[in-house]
Amino acid sequence: MKRGLNPRASELKLFVCGGRGKQSRQTPRELIEVGDQCGLDGDDLVRTSRLTAKIDNGCIADGFQIYLHSFVVSADGEWVVVQQGMNGATGLARRYHWHSASVRDFVNEPHTGIIGEPQGEIMNLVDGRAAAARHALLDITRDHPDRTLAHIRHVTMPAHHAVRAENVDLKRLGAVLAVAHDRELRSLADLLLVENVGPRTLQTLAMIAEVIHGTPVRFSDPARFSFALGGKDGHPYPVPLKIYDQAIDVVRNALDKSKVERREKLDGLRRLNQFVQSVEQNAQTEVDLTAFVAHEEALSSALGGRTVFDDRQGTPLQMSLF
């Protein structure tokens, strides 16, 4: 998308920033440049970029490490963030989707969707039910660091928690707490942007909140599968390349042949999205997931099904609209 759209960014009024690995670290600079070009608050865009990355990498302890951060912003300031994380143990990936139009609170149910295989019960500080835990975390930062560290030294770690006693670096945690204490933070978002507050620190503080304040931080994993075109890892079924290509052709031809203005195109897509959401919310029948996946797997060969593990054609599976 970045290679295809950015050469026409001024015309389309749409800018793609970030990317995979090293490219993701260029996101702040690219967002500042977009802000200067379009008259947007570049610093605010950078803050949003950092915050979405911190939340998906630290607040949702699902075992996936973020390695791709894509930030798409329009000239009028609307933005979309798509991040992808990898689980080193299983080799599976999941995606985290954000859209500015649906974010009311960055630390309370902010995602448009999280796509992947659910992991069961996980620590999720942005779950709507974690409000008490978020308040407890802020109370901990407002307390004197020495008092908090004294509590930790005498706390018996719960067996179910990801952080063990030997994993807690009290010296580093004390430094983070001292900085947070001096800044008089007002929200969890402010805490996330403090230097050196990473996944381990957040998990440790969540543990303290859970043990000392009795505030739950573990809830059902919000991830869900995306069934439209399967998954390149073979879950829930291989990508049907023939159907994938047909879908690309339909979208490309529709856009190429359309004579309507860009705003009307976007309005049409929004209406389509609203219709799909309405169907999902009001559907009266339940899908037999096992039967559905079995049906798709049976058709996979005829539809050119491929996964990243399938080397029958000698080339890796690649997907691109450009």
Domain residue spans of the chain = 2-117, 128-220, 239-306
Per residue in 120-177, pLDDT (tens digit) is 999 999 999 999 999 999 998 888 888 877 777 765 555 544 555 455 566 777 788 8
The pair of structure tokens assigned to 258 is 């359309």
**CA atoms of 162 and 204, how far apart (whole Å):** 9
Helix boundaries (H) for the chain: 2-5, 9-12, 27-38, 42-54, 131-142, 145-153, 170-183, 188-192, 199-208, 241-257, 262-282, 289-299
Calculate mean pLDDT across residues 1-17.
Answer: 88
Per residue in 252-304, pLDDT (tens digit) is 777 666 655 666 666 766 776 676 667 666 665 555 656 766 766 777 777 67
Name which of 218, 214, 237, 217 is nearest 226 in CA terms. 237
Give residue 304's region: left, alpha or beta (phi > 0; psi -120 to 50): left
What is the amino acid identity at position 99?
H
Pairing of strands 93-99, 60-61: unpaired
Number of C-beta neighbours around residue 137 at 10 A:
25
Tell the residue number behind the tokens 């000392």, with chain if given.
212
| Dihedral angle sign, alpha carbons of residues 288, 290, 294, 296 | positive
User: Whole-prediction pTM value?
Assistant: 0.70
Calculate mean pLDDT across residues 197-209.
Answer: 86
